[in-house]
Copies of this chain bind each other. A is one copy, B any other.
């Protein structure tokens, strides 16, 4: 056991910190708020060139053979920098979904353009309510091929993806799921990106009206697909916790700066216990959430499906609590200015909220934990 970064992991963290400092310095997120793409293509190209898209994929699949800890290191820095990128969508969700469901040859073929950054891919793994694998899309046989009907909600970067992987219910087998892929211009597919509270987490709402799906576009079907996709979502949940840790850290840093500089009643407000102790509580949340995120990454990497489920659940609940509390506290510590559009506090507050809802609520995660604990 050695629950600390290896030298290589430390170097990766330094590289990620440097990368985001260069490409997403404080204030850069402002441009994303009015941006149709919702991310900066130049930053994305630079990230692709860092070779991070395949960090955690097996070498046989074209990846670097590293693990969730390394992925988490990137996501933590992205979260701290408030830098929206289709990294989780393409590498954390779509690529893993391909790997988990497609035959090896087919997987390599599909993964190549994703890993090279030639295309952006994403996974539509939620239904209208935004809950993972509670799907509102159904695939049914239609002549020699299939047709897809229904909807998918809250698809990360679905509005700019070049390839959409869609989880759907199998009309022939209500208990089974399948995974298929579509091009964004597929007839019958409507992709809409409404204005959402968190402008830094672009998500699309998809509608499927009798979309024709050729057999070759169906990657996996049958009883194993649901479990495979659950693993993909669980891994992505742990990565989201790492992003939450970064966001919470940014909250703490902004608040510390303000508390040291803002003077009231003749002294820095950070010298008053009401502020000082709140900051201490924020630090407790940040650090315990960081511990939880990396612990979960290790547990998931080293353990079985139950360990993965346990890790994802525990990380999600605590990461969501931590970021939400820190973001709310950041507004409070800043006072009126923290309530304005010009200050970053509200961006973090809204990120905290959307992150906490990604793939499902914390309450649902607790319910799942209760099941894992066999609280019958």
Interface residues of A (CB under 8 A from B): 272-274, 277
Q: B residues within 8 A CB of A274?
A: 273-274, 277
Cα A277 to Cα B277 in complex, Å, equals 11
6 contacts between A and B (CB under 8 A): A272-B273, A273-B273, A273-B274, A273-B277, A274-B274, A274-B277
A268–chain B nearest beta-carbon distance, Å: 14
Cα A272 to Cα B274 in complex, Å, equals 9
Cα A272 to Cα B272 in complex, Å, equals 8
Cα A277 to Cα B278 in complex, Å, equals 12
Q: B residues within 8 A CB of A273?
A: 272-274, 277
Cα A274 to Cα B278 in complex, Å, equals 10
Cα A155 to Cα B250 in complex, Å, equals 55
Q: Please tell me how many copies of the chain the complex holds.
A: 2
Q: B residues within 8 A CB of A272?
A: 273
Q: What is the chain B residue whose CB lies nearest that of A274? A: B273
A270–chain B nearest beta-carbon distance, Å: 12
Cα A96 to Cα B43 in complex, Å, equals 76
Cα A273 to Cα B270 in complex, Å, equals 12
A265–chain B nearest beta-carbon distance, Å: 11
A358–chain B nearest beta-carbon distance, Å: 28
Q: B residues within 8 A CB of A277?
A: 273-274
Q: What is the chain B residue whose CB lies nearest that of A277? A: B274
Q: What is the chain B residue whose CB lies nearest that of A275? A: B273
A272–chain B nearest beta-carbon distance, Å: 6
A13–chain B nearest beta-carbon distance, Å: 35
Cα A75 to Cα B274 in complex, Å, equals 36
Cα A272 to Cα B277 in complex, Å, equals 11
Cα A277 to Cα B272 in complex, Å, equals 11
A183–chain B nearest beta-carbon distance, Å: 46
Q: What is the chain B residue whose CB lies nearest that of A272? A: B273
6 closest pairs, A vs B, by CB? Answer: A273-B273, A273-B274, A272-B273, A274-B277, A273-B277, A274-B274
Cα A160 to Cα B272 in complex, Å, equals 54
A351–chain B nearest beta-carbon distance, Å: 29
A333–chain B nearest beta-carbon distance, Å: 14
A259–chain B nearest beta-carbon distance, Å: 13
A332–chain B nearest beta-carbon distance, Å: 13
